[in-house]
Amino acid sequence: MKHVLTIGEILVEIMALDPGNGFLEPISLVGPFASGAPAIFIDQVARLGQPCAIIGCVGNDDFGELCLRRLEADGVDISAIARDPARPTGSAFVRYRPDGQRDFVFNIRHSAAGSIAIDTASQAAIRACDHLHVMGTSLSSENLVETTIGAIETVRARGGTISFDPNIRGELLELPGLRQALKSVAMQADLFMPSGEELFLFSRADTERDAVAEVLDWGARAVVVKRGMDGASYFDREQAISIPAVPVGEVDPTGAGDCFGATFVTCWLRGIPPERALSLANAAGALAVRKKGPMEGVSTMGELETFLEVGQIEK
């Protein structure tokens, strides 16, 4: 079985119980929940039974311990997660506004997540992997860009494959050099997996068709576009497949894209045909939004298959 690796932030998320505007008065909260886009991604890969690891860093505190225990319990190899005794584990407080937008208070850059570096354990993880998944959120500092680009080169030189989810917040894009760094990662990806408009991040194309053609010209084998409640699409040189979302009651959209991406990448590595891979990934995204908490909606392959077959599942 192919080994999957990702690099990036491992955080806890603490959520406001009731919708409202920000954190300007005392409110009821629930959490901590294990979180961080790369962490959610790799946890979902593990739940599908694929061998996998994450290069990351947590603090020497309960938040870090909670994340390590959760990832390990779900089957992630945690040997390349360092502990920085000098910094706290990253965190995000989140509150939904009545219109569905979110307010955040982040502690990421100056948390242990900002100390990710290549040590002996992470070098071993890079050597052991067959596939590297890169998240745009994890390219938020020069140090992380350098680490990630180095890992991409090593994996590709050994015949491994790369997937890339730009997953980028607008304000990060304005950091000096970041857009160029993201583009150079995108150009090395075998699978490019943007959400909606992110397809146009590195392209001058006006239409989706032209933007997809441009990415395929760079050498990507496929482009997978996530469209939230409108489902998802798959494109390669021979075919274009679009499928609608599986209708569910949305409780918490955080993590849908990561669970979708993890499922698509795992299916692709297993040689599952694209149409089926897209359906399973779509099901994983739908099941993810039904649960409160970023990593609480991950699924096993059996659960995804049952959900697609009978249209319902108790979890």
**Footprint of ligand ATP on this chain (CB under 6 A)?**
167, 195, 226-229, 231-232, 245-246, 248, 250, 253-258, 260, 282, 285-286, 289
Q: Measured from the CB atom, is 35 or 167 closer to Mg ion? A: 167
**Residue 138 binds to Mg ion (criterion: CB under 5 A):** no
Restricted to residues 242-281, the positions that interact with Mg ion (CB under 5 A) are: 257
Residue 294 binding: pick among Mg ion, ligand ATP, none (C-beta 5-8 Å cut-off by kind): none
* Distance (Å) of CA 109 to CA 16, 113, 249, 288: 22, 7, 34, 26
Q: Interface with Mg ion includes 167 (CB under 5 A)?
A: yes
Minimum CB separation of residue 90 from ligand ATP in Å reads 17
Does residue 88 belong to the site contacting Mg ion (CB under 5 A)? no
Give me the least distance between CB of 242 and ligand ATP, in Å please.
10
Q: Which residues contact 133 (CB under 8 A, 6 or more apart)?
A: 4, 5, 6, 38, 41, 42, 162, 163, 164, 165, 261, 262, 265
Distance of CA 44 to the CA centre of its chain: 9
Min separation Cβ 260 and ligand ATP, Å: 4
Nearer to ligand ATP (CB atom), residue 84 or residue 208: 208
- Give the contacts of 89 (CB within 8 A, at least 6 positions apart): 10, 11, 12, 58, 59, 61, 63, 64, 67, 111, 112, 113
- Residues in contact with 151: Cβ distance below 8 Å, sequence separation at least 6, in sequence order: 5, 7, 55, 118, 126, 132
Q: Please tell me the distance from the alpha carbon of residue 39 to that of residue 301, in angstroms, as a whole number.
A: 19
Q: Which is nearer to ligand ATP, 221 or 227 (CB)?
A: 227
CB of 195 to Mg ion, least distance (A): 4
Decide whether 125 or 220 has the Cβ nearer to Mg ion: 220
289 binds, among Mg ion, ligand ATP, none (CB under 5 to 8 A by kind): ligand ATP
Q: How far apart are CA 180 and CA 29, in angstroms?
A: 38
Closest to Mg ion by CB, 80 vs 256, is 256
* Residue whose CB is less far from ligand ATP, 36 or 231: 231
Query: Beta 102-107 vs 90-96: how paired, if at all?
Result: antiparallel
Given the rule CB under 5 A, which residues bind Mg ion?
167, 195, 257
